[in-house]
């Protein structure tokens, strides 16, 4: 499909494009991003260029939907629905995100993620969204819980990335779920 733009009270979510290369390269120098995600480290301009190409392909092929999050025109983070997997009864996907360090702690991520979850269920008709994180990623887990994701367990050494293997926390939300935050035993 053509990339979709989402707008919230403070934010505009739009697929990242060539003018965002520098901002993405700069953001991904923060060690917290490769620590908790599969973003490469060291992160170069070439990584940002190929990321933008991959995002364009993901939209075109309905394989993943990724948005740059902008506040007052500045790129403050990235959010995406990955591994969109169709089935006879509808598709599921997995949510992922990072924020630039200076923009954290302002609730931007929750605001952006709520718009993405609404779009996924109401507009794109997904039946399930999954979430996974390296065990111990409290800020990411708190965000997922606040969106209504339900904790589904820990899988030992299930996550692979440039760092090696990590235990993973897993959670999910269904289109039919009540989004009221539930207790997570690890939080």
Ligand X SMILES: CC(C)(COP(=O)(O)OP(=O)(O)OC[C@H]1O[C@@H](n2cnc3c(N)ncnc32)[C@H](O)[C@@H]1OP(=O)(O)O)[C@@H](O)C(=O)NCCC(=O)NCCS
The structure tokens listed for 133 are 């994180």
Strands 128-134 and 11-14: unpaired
The structure tokens listed for 136 are 């111990």
Helices assigned H by DSSP within 61-151: 108-118, 138-147
109 counts as binding ligand X under rule CB under 6 A? yes
Best CA proximity match to 54, nearest among 70, 34, 38, 41: 38
- Per-residue string for binding with ligand X, 124-163, x by CB under 6 A? ---------x---xxxx-xx--x-----------------
Backbone dihedral region for residue 115 (phi beyond 0: left; psi -120 to 50: alpha; all else: beta): alpha
* Contacting range for ligand X; rule: CB under 6 A; set: 7-15, 53-61, 94-102, 151-159: 94-102
DSSP-derived 3-state class of residue 125: coil
Distance CA 55, CA 28 (A): 16
Cβ proximity to ligand X, 52 vs 100, nearer residue: 100
Kindly tell me which residue out of 24, 99, 112, 116 binds ligand X, with binding defined by CB under 6 A: 99
Cβ proximity to ligand X, 39 vs 52, nearer residue: 39
Stretch 13-72 residues interacting with ligand X (CB under 6 A): 32-33, 36-37
Cβ proximity to ligand X, 58 vs 77, nearer residue: 77
Question: In angstroms, what is the minimal distance from the CB of 27 to ligand X?
Answer: 9
- Can you give the binding site for ligand X, defined by CB under 6 A? 32-33, 36-37, 97-99, 104-105, 107-110, 133, 137-140, 142-143, 146
């Amino acid at each position: 499909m053509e990339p979709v733009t989402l707008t919230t009270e403070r934010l505009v979510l739009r697929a990242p494009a060539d003018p965002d290369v520098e901002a993405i390269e700069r953001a991904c120098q923060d060690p917290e991003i490769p620590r908790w995600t599969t973003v490469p480290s060291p992160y170069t301009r070439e990584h940002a260029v190929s990321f933008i190409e991959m995002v364009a392909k993901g939209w075109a092929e309905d394989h993943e939907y990724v948005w740059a999050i902008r506040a007052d025109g500045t790129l403050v983070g990235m959010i995406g629905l990955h591994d969109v997997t169709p089935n006879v009864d509808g598709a599921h996907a997995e949510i992922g995100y990072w924020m630039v360090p200076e923009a954290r702690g302002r609730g931007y991520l929750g605001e952006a993620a709520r718009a993405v979850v609404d779009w996924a269920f109401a507009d794109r008709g997904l039946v399930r969204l999954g979430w996974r994180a390296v065990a111990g990623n409290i800020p990411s887990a708190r965000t997922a819980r606040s969106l209504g994701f339900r904790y589904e367990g820990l899988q030992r050494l299930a996550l692979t990335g440039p760092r090696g293997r990590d235990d993973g926390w897993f959670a999910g939300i269904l289109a039919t779920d009540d989004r009221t935050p539930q207790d997570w035993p690890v939080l």
